[in-house]
Each structure stands twice: as C-alpha cells, then as structure tokens.
Structure 1
Amino acid sequence: MLSVLIETRNDEEGLARTLASLIGGAVEGVVREVIVCDTGSTDQTHRVAEHAGCQYVTGGVAAGIRQAKGDWLLLLEPGARLVEGWIDEVVAHTARQTMAARFSRTRASRTPFLARVFSGNRALADGLLISKRQAAAAAKSAGSAEAIARGLAMKRLDAEIWMAPAKQERRSST
C-alpha cells in the first residue's frame, strides 16, 4: 500500500532512528517497502539500509519513485520519527483523499517563531504523504525530495512527527 522513501547522504544514524519508527507500519501491513534513495554517501548508510531489509538505490528520490510499488509514497528526512498513532491517520487519509499531506509536529519539536523566521524552511521537515502519480510528475522538474515537497498544497494530518535535526546539526554530531 505505502512505499516509504528516505533520501540520504551520510545519514546512517538518522536513518536507523527513522526506520525504527516505521516498524509498526510494516507489522500492520501498511508499509509495503522502504526505499533508501542515496545521493552519494561515504559512510555506512548502505549497510544500515541493507541490515534493515530496505531497498537501496542511488540517484536520489527520482530513482526511488520509479522503483516504488505503492500507490502512495511517504517521504521522510533521515532522523525524523513518526509518533504512535500515525498508521490509522495515514490509512484514513489515503482512503479518502487525493491531495498530499504532511504530519503535525510534536509540541517538543515545534520551533519558536523567531527561529523559524531566521532559519531555512525545510519543506520536508514534516514529512510528505503523496500519491505516486503526483510525486512522479513533480520529480520531473525537482532534483530532490525537498524540492518535491516545496510549494505543494497539502492537508495537515492529526498524526505527529518528531522532526529530524537540521542537516548541519546532524553533521556536527557525527
């Protein structure tokens, strides 16, 4: 039903955290596959993906979209974690909607107003639930998962997400 795509570049630790939050969806049969879309990692990202049973593709998210089998795609940043209860919300949305959706941030991961104003806005920080057809069309002109998520009209899901740390925070912690 749902293909999860995670675009990575030297994100082995974040990838492991994100994959752990998807286990419930795999057990429930909602997550059909997880595709790690790598953009040139030099760390052990590929080993994390392989050990977790994920498909590993190079060439970024466009390659992952072409390979995905699900009618709906869930694009996540490495390090993002879905909060319990996300499965029912995603199933309900995909059954009745055709428009893209994003998750609601947990209260603890909401950025203060001034920090949001002065920092770069990450369009994929809240995840992206999108039909494969819409993602494939957007991928023709977008070079990354972030670019696909930018500028889309979306519904906000009641399910919550813990945002991944900003890329520079992830790099400095490794």
Structure 2
Amino acid sequence: MFERTRTASICVTAGTALITSLLLVGGAKAAGLPDGIDAEGKTAVLSLHAEGVQIYDCKAGLDGNTSWQFREPLATLLQDNKTVGRHFAGPTWELADGSSVVGKVAAQAPGKTATDIAILRLDVVSHHGDGGLSKVTAVQRLDTHGGVFKGTCAQPGAIHVEPYSAEYVFLK
C-alpha cells in the first residue's frame, strides 16, 4: 500500500513540475529566426530538448536508381535531462501526461551546416488528450544538429538511422 501511495505522489509531483514549467515558459520568444519560422503573435508554452534519430529507407526511384529517402523521426523528449515524452512519425509529439499533437510543415529554413536537418515551423493539425500539449497550435524545431544522411544505397529496403538533436518549442 505504501509503495502505491508513494508512486502516486511521485506522479503528482512530476505532473506539477511539468505544469509549472509550462506556465514559466510562457511569453518566451526566440530571436533572430528566419522569416516564416518565427511564429509572431504566439506564446511559447513549453520547450523540450530532443535526442534521437532520423530514419532513412533505401528506395528505387522512377529512374531505377536507389537513394536514401527520409522515412520518420524517432526521438526522446527531455526536460532537465529527464524523459518527458517522445517524438515519432506524423510528425507527432507525445508527453508522458498522454497529450499529443500532430504537425504539418508550414515553413522551413536550412540548418546551420549541410549535415543539420532544417529548422521548421509546423502548424498543429490534430490534438489528443487534455495535458500539456492540449492548447498548442504550432511547433518550432530549432537548433538542429545532425540528422541529414545522403549518398548511394545498394540494397532497396535497407534502413539507415542518423543521429540528431534539436530543441522543440511548443506555441499557442
């Protein structure tokens, strides 16, 4: 009985910390963003660090040549070095509180180097749950490192995972 109460208490404490961070981040705005990436008029409600991979498939094109084509992201969402959610195909972001959003690319700009995936602004096209992401209307992918993979592939159906990291800012 004590263990169940202690676990519930830890969950409530973690949930309170997440809600507090949502409230404290409000009003933050990234400076110096390219046109279209800056979501003017929106307020940041949460900022999370992502560590993961960009997954590529080796596919044959119409010309018969094979190339690596982006399939999906797969990343852990972190706050203060603690896992608070995940990011996966959709693109979808899901928090431990059960809330999630799916986005659609609205604007993009190149990453800092040729091996960094693009920075993005995505408009939210669907929501699930009543947690921390329930009021989010846009997502920015900023400060990207890695994730780009190019080159030839010999075997259609082969998969390559390329490490990346980014900062995701959730806006309302």
> Shorter-chain TM-score: which interval?
under 0.3
Please report the TM-score for the alignment, with normalisation by the length of structure 2: 0.25
Please report the TM-score for the alignment, with normalisation by the length of structure 1: 0.25
| Higher relative contact order (CA closer than 8 Å, sequence separation 6+) | 1
Structure possessing the higher radius of gyration over alpha carbons: 2
